[in-house]
Structure 1
């Protein structure tokens, strides 16, 4: 997210990040308030797909809120009290799996009630309820009476400032990107390796264009 700002000076970069966060908090907060569901939209879409997949399973009541859910190819144990399934998908992400949904519908309940509370709309609104306060400009800063700080002398090296992040010495490189060091240099004129077209010696006689024109005229006159 900060690729657009990391080549800026430190104060400009921090100001860009602050405005970005302030805008993002407002967008998230206003977007979820218009949503009428109980779960977050992405989690609700995921749950709807699991509901369709659960139609291929049948369940057998083994005890109080304890079911054996299976199909022609697999079988699992679902405990609605502990909110667990032997496939461990419900245990890991807090979203009822397709086996648990089959047991929940048999128990005449809804899968949304068995989803973890971290996926609720109320939890999402609680996360983004804080407002990042806007800041006034430099013209409205309070006067302190102290002398203004002097900017440090910055040495500007020649060339264009780098934008790429400096990688650590032990950081793995991209194996799919060939470096210029490992790539052979091929000349565009003679098509040979080891030099480029700028340093190619092929076809160079050491004469100026005027001398070459005079030589061609003499050769043409002799041939005639």
Structure 2
């Protein structure tokens, strides 16, 4: 509220068409560049390492695109404006600034007034003002973990590996090689550390397959 009032008063004291922030930004963009006039509206800017750009004041465009994006003339456009003002004494920078960055738009932004209100103790009491939580219903069954896919979205493909020949693209049932159960189970060796003693345990897991 105080900020709105402070800036509203600042707007009434400005005598220029542009706010002070915009005016300072344009002044920083002024720098010495070589400007070549094509006509009253088009200019060619030459600067470091032989680079050149074209400025067109009729359409408020510039080759780098900074003028079109920010609404403020870029440093190359400001150099062209300085060159133009030096020769004909016209073309103020304010007329090439976007309307939303001028004093009129700034004044309209802070024109509304935020009215003060009384202390909270003077507010009327509202019955049943307690906010209740949402009623959550527990659904039957196990909750879904996988994301519901969109229409036309393909499922994630998994690589199938055969446990017999270790080939890809098929399992042991559809494998072209024939396998039989081995009488010798597969042996795994593991080491368990308990109370500073290492215990070697041999684990027999499942049944293995061997080719015929």
Instruction: Give TM-score scaled by structure 2 length.
Output: 0.51
**Structure 1 CA distance for aligned equivalents of residues 108 and 72 of structure 2:** 20
SS at match of 1:149: coil
Shift in Å at residue 40 of structure 1?
1.7
Tell me, yes or no, if the aligned pair for 2:26 and 2:78 is still in contact at 8 Å. no
- Which of these residues, 68, 86, 111, is aligned with residue 91 of structure 1? 68
Structure with greater helix percent: 1
Match of 1:7? Answer: none
Shift in Å at residue 82 of structure 1?
0.6
Tell me, yes or no, if the aligned pair for 1:67 and 1:77 is still in contact at 8 Å. yes
Residues 143-162 of structure 1: pairs in structure 2 closer than 5 A: 149=127, 152=130
Shift in Å at residue 44 of structure 1?
1.2
Shift in Å at residue 126 of structure 1?
0.8
Match of 1:120? Answer: 102
Q: Is 1:111 the counterpart of 2:93 in the alignment?
A: yes
Tell me, yes or no, if the aligned pair for 2:44 and 2:53 is still in contact at 8 Å. yes
Q: Deviations over 1:64-100 (max 9, x none)?
A: 5111111242210000001111111111101111211
Match of 2:22? Answer: 43
- Which of these residues, 30, 34, 39, is aligned with residue 13 of structure 2? 34
Structure of higher RCO (CA pairs closer than 8 Å, 6+ residues apart) = 1
**Structure 2 CA distance for aligned equivalents of residues 138 and 68 of structure 1:** 64
Structure with greater strand percent: 2
How many residues in Structure 1 have an aligned counterpart in Structure 2? 126
Tell me, yes or no, if the aligned pair for 1:80 and 1:104 is still in contact at 8 Å. no
Greater Rg by CA: 2
C-alpha RMSD of the superposition: 2.8
Shift in Å at residue 136 of structure 1?
4.1
Instruction: Give TM-score scaled by structure 1 length.
Output: 0.49
Shift in Å at residue 49 of structure 1?
0.6
**Structure 2 CA distance for aligned equivalents of residues 33 and 80 of structure 1:** 30
**Structure 2 CA distance for aligned equivalents of residues 113 and 99 of structure 1:** 16
Q: Deviations over 1:199-224 (max 9, x none)?
A: xxxxxxxxxxxxxxxxxxxxxxxxxx
List runs of 5+ in structure 2 lacking aligned partners. Answer: 86-90, 132-212
Q: Deviations over 1:25-80 (max 9, x none)?
A: 212212232333321222111111112x2x2x122222451111112422100000
Tell me, yes or no, if the aligned pair for 1:70 and 1:99 is still in contact at 8 Å. no
Shift in Å at residue 151 of structure 1?
6.5
